[in-house]
A and B are shown apart, each in its own frame.
Chain A
Amino acid sequence: MIEILAVLGIPLAGSLALAAVGHRPVAASVNIAASLGTFVAAAVLTARVVTDGPMLVLDKLFFVDPFNVFLVALTAFVGFTTSLFSRPYMRIERERGKVDAARLRLYHAMYQLFNFTMLLALLTNNMGILWVALEAATLTTVLLVSLYRTPASLEAAWKYFILCGVGIAQALFGTILLFFAAEKLLGAGGGALLWTELDAVKSQLEPTVLSIAFVFLLVGYGTKVGLVPLHNWLPDAHAEGPTPVSAVLSGLLLNVALYAVVRCKVLVEGAIPTAFAKNLMMGFGLLSVVVAAFLLSRQKDVKRLFAYSSIEHMGIVTFAFGMGGAVANFAGLLHMTVHSLTKSAIFFAVGHATQKTGTQLMDGIRGLITTSPVIGWGLMIGTLAILGMPPFGVFASEFLILTTAMREQPWATPFLLVALGVAFAAVFSKVQPMAFGEPVAERLPHRPAMIPVFVHLAIVLMLGLWIPPFLADWYRQAAQLIG
């Protein structure tokens, strides 16, 4: 229990402290320290859950099982590495006059608060609090996306706020319907929104209400996952915010929103005898994969390119969870992990590349391998990994998802294969000249913070070659939990 309080308390305290003291030279280090503290606490919590099994503490307010603890660990880890990347990145932005001290204060405070809201969403047992935490995550990221105060960033933030606000209002309606269905079985007290209580009685919940509720919940949280056709905010928010924010949006927030969808799906699946929830998730997932793959080739901005790639991968994971079953869920969880790590690594590399060339347009970024080999190779390897090249982890998870699809949903296989092929062609043909083309930019005056990139990519490589037994075991338990 003390671990849970630490996991939530450290980022919250960090946020308050960073907001209170204002921007000092140490602020970035405090940010790193708080993120490291969160990560250590999350690691301890994980170890505890792996040895002792699920935890239900503090008047049933928090619930930790293998499914969410794995996301907690991932969130805390990527939050930590991103804070490492963010220190030099934001220092350069400051030197270039893109942000001032007041903005940096906001940035650091909101960064920690954002981590807090995501961890709260993951750890809470109450479906209402889950909603509140995700809405709060939207609000903090709106401030982060609009950090530069340029017309484009204001527009992106406004679109993000309105679309996700409306989306998440649908999710609130879904939550109300869920409460409405559960209240009859569990009484009007606080118990009727607790996931563990709902899970225990899910087979008796009213199927009609639950299917309507699931539509609202999927549309609502799906907006935040970036599922097509609710994805419009995502590329803008990724492209216009600071790059560390793009990395955590893609790497973490989308996962947390998908986590909310999956938690709801478990309840609905238990209540409805038909494959309604499955089909809906598979449909949305597949549509996202296909649409995003075809939009990839039209992108000119490098951050938008990888934002669309995030939509594509979230579609793949949604499809996998939609199929359900031990193998597909295992692959979905693995894909969530490797996508988070790879995508944030790519954004780190992209961040340095854009700072170096002063543009986000891919036409302006050329020959990184010559001018700055570490960034160039980081970007190239990251791109190959995200495109599903063996031996990286993304290959393993995509291969599992594809083979399961061939066996269980053969109709979907051609769509998936074509989309993956199109995505490969589009992304590779764009990134290749960025890495190997005729160089245009001069050397960066600073040493890029590339350690996080290579640490992430090394983990992804390892997951492709060999999944440690404890991790495989852990995935298997989680896969079983979500049916």
Chain B
Amino acid sequence: MATLPLYAQFINLLAALLLLLSFAMLAQRRVLSLIDLFAAQGLALAASTAIVAYGTGQHHLYWSAGLTLILKVFLLPWILYRLIRKLDVKWDVEGLINVPTTMLIGIVLVVFAFNLAAPISQLASTVTRATLGIAMACVMLSFLMMITRRKAIPQVIGFLSMENGLFFAATSATYGMPMVVELGIALDVLVGVLILGVFFFQIREQFDSLDLRHLEKLKEGE
């Protein structure tokens, strides 16, 4: 097999790192560490975007990388940290249901994602097309994380990490969306997190905790 250019190998490395971080998030019990992992994922994403920009000469991707860096490595983790400090709840450790099983399901999802991505990857003309499968796997793992978590902040981190996976899909399959769209998406994510921050306070005010088991009262026929 012909060797890839150096930058493409770097991207593959970062893609693998992204997938690894997704698995780590799936198994992480401590909320603060979860935020660190999310920031690390953002860093890997920003780095890979910057490398794609350098390697292919797509200069608008530098902007996109910068945006990712500011938003996902600094701003969002900072907001989440602040929220946790302000909320001051004893909920650092979260009981997870059956980590090994979750991991096994995660592996199945990765296989599925690669299968789904295979026909699309073959059509791609970008050097980074092999990473599309990884991007889809990240999206699915974040989805799994949202399903298995019972507390509000880990669910939101799962949601944000899904957004990371999608961004990675966009850069790896197409060299990034048009700038105006990326800005719009970034704005939506930021506003969404701010709204959720306000929300957390209200949920805690009402229920004295951020455990989502309290939010399962609305049922059919009641």
Binding site for B on A (CB under 8 A): 126, 128-129, 131-132, 135-136, 139, 142-143, 146, 149-152, 154-159, 161-162, 165-166, 169, 172-173, 175-177, 179-180, 183-184, 188-190, 192-193, 206, 208-209, 212, 236, 239-240, 295, 298-301
Contact = CB atoms under 8 A, between A and B. Distances in A.
Contact of B178 (A143, A172, A180, A190): A190
Interface in B185-222: 185, 187-188, 191-192, 195-196, 199, 202-203, 206-207, 212, 214-218, 220-222
B2 interface: no
Contact of B199 (A126, A154, A183, A300): A154
Nearest to A361: B222
Contact of B214 (A128, A146, A151, A298): A151
Contacts of B130: none
15 contacts: A151-B206, A151-B217, A154-B215, A155-B216, A155-B217, A157-B199, A161-B195, A162-B155, A172-B166, A176-B166, A176-B169, A176-B170, A192-B178, A300-B222, A301-B222
Given A169-B162, A190-B178, A298-B221, 14 more contacts: A129-B180, A129-B184, A132-B181, A132-B185, A135-B185, A142-B195, A159-B215, A162-B146, A166-B159, A172-B185, A176-B174, A208-B119, A212-B119, A236-B218
B58 A166 contact: no
Given A132-B188, A146-B202, A173-B166, A295 B173 contact: no
A158 B203 CA distance: 9
B93 interface: no
Given A151-B207, A208-B123, A166 B222 contact: no
Nearest to B152: A158
Given A128-B184, A190-B180, A236-B218, A212 B120 contact: yes
Contacts of B203: 154, 158
B99 interface: no
A159 B218 CA distance: 10
B192 A126 contact: no
Contacts of A179: 170, 174, 177
A176 B173 contact: yes
Contacts of B187: 132
A17 to B, nearest CB: 19
A173 B139 contact: yes
A375 to B, nearest CB: 25
B38 interface: no
Contacts, number: 133
A189 B217 contact: no
A149 B202 contact: yes
A295 B123 CA distance: 44
A186 to B, nearest CB: 11
B125 interface: yes
A172 B139 CA distance: 11
B181 A129 contact: yes
B184 A132 contact: yes
Contacts of B125: 184
Contacts of A180: 120, 124, 173-174
Interface string B122-147: 01110000000000000100010010
Contacts of B155: 162
A136 B120 contact: no
A139 B191 contact: yes
A68 B127 CA distance: 39
A165 B178 contact: no
Contacts of A192: 178
Contacts of B195: 139, 142-143, 161
Contact of A169 (B163, B216, B222): B163
B188 A136 contact: yes
Given A129-B180, A172-B185, A173-B166, A154 B58 contact: no
A238 B52 CA distance: 45
Nearest to A61: B180
Contact of A146 (B116, B159, B192, B199): B199
